[in-house]
Every structure is written in structure tokens, then in C-alpha cells.
Homo-oligomer: A and B are copies of this chain.
Amino acid sequence: MSNFQHIKPAGKAQFMDRYTTKAAELLTPYTDGAKGDVAILGAPLSKPSISHSGASFAPDAMRRCLNSFTTYNIEEETDISGKTIIDFGDIAMHPTSIEECHQRIYQSTKEIAQAEAAPFTIILGGDHSITTSTVKAIKETKGTVGIIQLDAHHDLRNTEDGGPTNGTPFRRLIQEGHLKGEHLIQIGIRNYANAKAYHDYAIENGVTVYTMKDVKQHPIQELIESALNQLDPKVDTIYLSVDMDVLDQAYAPGCPAIGPGGMDPDTLSEAVQSAVRHPKVQAMDIVEIDPTLDIRDMTSRIASLLIINTLIN
């Protein structure tokens, strides 16, 4: 760009307020050896979804929505404008081999974990099928993994009926030996959203399950603390898996599998903030947002706020 007085590069915001930092300005493309506070990596994959899904557009949507937030937390009187989000970019997906896509997610997550660019990593889905690959990579990098899963669904479907769909990530992790059932804690599981067989599978494998009724009857911080206490002595690292459909349809209209009876965004936000304060919580994914179904990016806006909240840890 040259010395023209009023011309800005294409695609840049028109208006700048000199005193305002947008959260999106914290994004810094990764270069070798770069260090930051949080690292993000996009996994724009939704072809494994059982139903038609445009979740592959979500990494872009979440980054875009970081423009809707500033860096100042008035309630904590904290400005995070000095923090850095290392942006590794997006994993390029293969158009016709889902197996290859999952492999690339595994490999890329491992590579960026090894780059140690930040103490906390966020994988931006994509659908929930990505989690098998990301957790496997985290395990190989950081050791035994415990998972706190915020989700309306168990995601423990059998794989015979459709392969590695977005209904199977935790089943595959358990079956393939990357995760022990007792290291998995599910929060927000909803009525009439899962088959009995999969609840049975969860129980038989020692998975801890908190339903929406539990969420309504206890402060979320309490459930998260209990989960952390349960996992802390047993695992090396804790992974947070946030399926946005844990939220009620009125708040998250952009999830493929919407329904009534879910969590509200404040509760989800508090859950994530409570969890990320624990030193073993080192990675997170945010999955199942389909921006083509969303209304005014409402669901992505909530997701972006979750990302921001990991920065005032």
C-alpha cells in the first residue's frame, strides 16, 4: 500500500476509533516461533455430519464476530488489548475423502501443539466429528486426556451405521483406546435427544453424565468444579469440547440440531470460564455452528465471546 491519504486495503474496516481495540485485532497469523496467549486453528469440516451441515463456514464466522467485541471487560475492569491470539489458519480439507480430512486434522493439531505457540489452544469446528482427531493429537502431545463435554447429545453412536460421523467422536476415542470412559464428563445432555442404547453405553463405560435437569438444579460452576476435581488426579491434560447445541434453540438458532430445553449463553460462558481457570485445561473445541442457518451470526457471536473469555484467565 502506498501513501494515499484516504485509501485502505480492500476488506479492512472503514471506520477506526483510535481508542478502541477490537478483539479481532488480537488475531496474529502464526509465524515460526511466535508466542501468544491463545492459539486458534480452524477445522472447517462438516461433510461427516449425519444431516446437511454448513459448519465448515464456522471458523470464518467466529473470526468475523471477533470484530463485534472490544477488548475491555468492564465487570473485571480488565483490558485484554495486550493479549495475542495466534491464528494458525485453517486446515485445508480434501473434497472427497473424509478419512483424509480426519487425518489432516489429527496431523495439523499435533503439529501446532508441538509448536507450543500458546498455553491454550482452541480448535474451531466444523462438526463434532473433528474431536476424535484433535483429542488423539493432544493425547500424543500432552499425555492422558480428560474431557469435559458441553453437549445436548452423548455423541457415542455406533460407527457401523455410518462411519466417523458427527455422532461418534467420543465412541471412537473410547473404542480406539485414546480415552477412558471415566475420563469423559458430559454436561447438558437433553431429554429425547439420545437413544437409550447410548446412555447405557455411557454408563457402562464409566462416563459421567449431567443432564439439563442437573444444570438447572445446580450452579454451573459447581458442576464444572466437580468435573475438574474428578479429572485432575487422573489425567495429564483436560480438553473442553463445546458443542454449541448445548444451548437452547432460542439462543443458538445456528446449530444444525436445534431444540428447546437447553442451556442459556450466560451459563455456558460461566462454564467455560470456570473450566479454563484450571491449569490442566489446555485445549478446547467449539463445534456445530452452521452459519448458513444462523440468524445474524448470533450463535457465532456467542462462540466468539467464549474465545475472548479464555483470554482473561
Contact = CB atoms under 8 A, between A and B. Distances in A.
Contact of A30 (B1, B44, B196): B1
B41 A162 contact: no
A192 B72 contact: yes
Contact of A93 (B14, B29, B57): B14
Given A8-B89, A190-B74, A163 B94 contact: yes
A269 interface: yes
A49 B15 CA distance: 11
A279 to B, nearest CB: 24
Contacts of A207: none
A81 to B, nearest CB: 8
Nearest to A27: B10
Contacts of A20: 157, 195, 197-198
B301 A258 contact: yes
Interface stretch (A134-142, A220-228, A231-239, A288-296): A288-296
7 contacts: A7-B111, A10-B59, A12-B89, A52-B57, A69-B193, A71-B195, A72-B194
Nearest 10 interchain pairs by C-beta: A96-B163, A19-B197, A95-B162, A20-B195, A69-B192, A6-B104, A72-B196, A79-B196, A260-B265, A9-B89
Interface of A: 1-2, 4-12, 14-21, 23, 27, 29-32, 41-42, 44, 47-50, 52, 54, 56-57, 59-60, 63, 68-76, 79, 81, 87-99, 104, 107-108, 111-112, 115, 129, 157-158, 160-165, 167, 189-199, 209, 211-213, 249-251, 253, 257-261, 265-266, 269, 292-293, 295-296, 298, 301-302, 305, 308
